Structure 1
Amino acid sequence: MLPGFGCELHEGEWGAVGSILKWNWLVDGEPQHTKELIEFADENNKSITFRVLEGEIIQIYKRIAANVRADQNGENCLVTWTVEYEKINEDVPDPDSIIDFAYNLTKDIKTHHLK
């Protein structure tokens, strides 16, 4: 598990559209907290979209959402993350730390499933 990372169900059911998750994670060594709404889930296509509702990150982005999709081809699996965001102003950096988090989370999941 990634250090400083945690996710819990706040409202609804795991994986269900309309459910809200609480996430705790580290960004550049600083603790971050978010509440995210599951906007879209498609079990057949192994795709889910989260939209951030609350947290430190909302202070610099008007809107931020992430979609993760897993495509399997035999024993191989390709995971694609798409992050859509709107900055509050042009001085706000791109969300590189979120991309790094998604990459590390994907690696952690892979390691867990290969045990």
Structure 2
Amino acid sequence: MGLKGKLISQIETKCSGHLLHEHFKSNPHKTSAMAPDKITNFTLHEGQLGKTNSVVSWNYILGGKERHAKQVLHIDDEEKSITFNFKEGYMNELYKSMTLTLTLIAEKNFITWTLVYEKLNENTPEPLDFIEFLIYLIKDLETHHVGK
């Protein structure tokens, strides 16, 4: 079995996908108030919200435990995508590399999560629990934004 993988999840949203894209671009610090059972903290370490090469960290609950991730962001306004390059934290303990991209397909109100990773070894599990976490995170944010 190979060490490299890609998981893709496409979710139709009940609210405007633009709201969700804008949330992760400019207002990620509000996520813990909208999904407190999933996100417990957000910190901007370097740069500016909404700008490429900003360094951020998240504390999140995965598998019943609080985890940490530090990421460098790449924002592509033309493609309506945000890429999170994992630099430190729980996922870096399991995976040699991990990149998460959130893409908006505006005309269909779809959000796509694309998770590209390389496992440290063959005993490392596929990050299925993390992609499931991301799906439910979008559902929580969607519930908050419905009607706005």
Please indicate, yes or no, whether the TM-score normalized by the shorter chain is above 0.5.
yes
Higher share of residues assigned strand: 1
Counterpart position of 1:52: 86
Counterpart position of 1:71: 105
Identify unmatched segments of 5+ residues in structure 1.
Answer: none
Q: How much identity, in percent, do the aligned residues show? A: 36
Query: 1:1-115 to 2 correspondence within 5 Å?
Result: 1-2=34-35, 3-5=37-39, 6-38=41-73, 40-73=74-107, 76-115=108-147
Identify unmatched segments of 5+ residues in structure 2.
Answer: 1-33
Worse overlay, 80-89 or 104-113: 104-113
Query: How many residues of Structure 1 are paired with residues of Structure 2 in the alignment?
Result: 112
What CA distance in whole angstroms lies between the structure 2 residues aligned with 1:26 and 1:89?
24
> Once superposed, what is the RMSD of the aligned Cα atoms?
1.3
TM-score, structure 2 normalization = 0.71
TM-score, structure 1 normalization = 0.90
> Would the aligned equivalents of 2:104 and 2:110 in 1 still touch at CA under 8 Å?
yes
Greater relative contact order (Cα < 8 A, sep 6+): 2
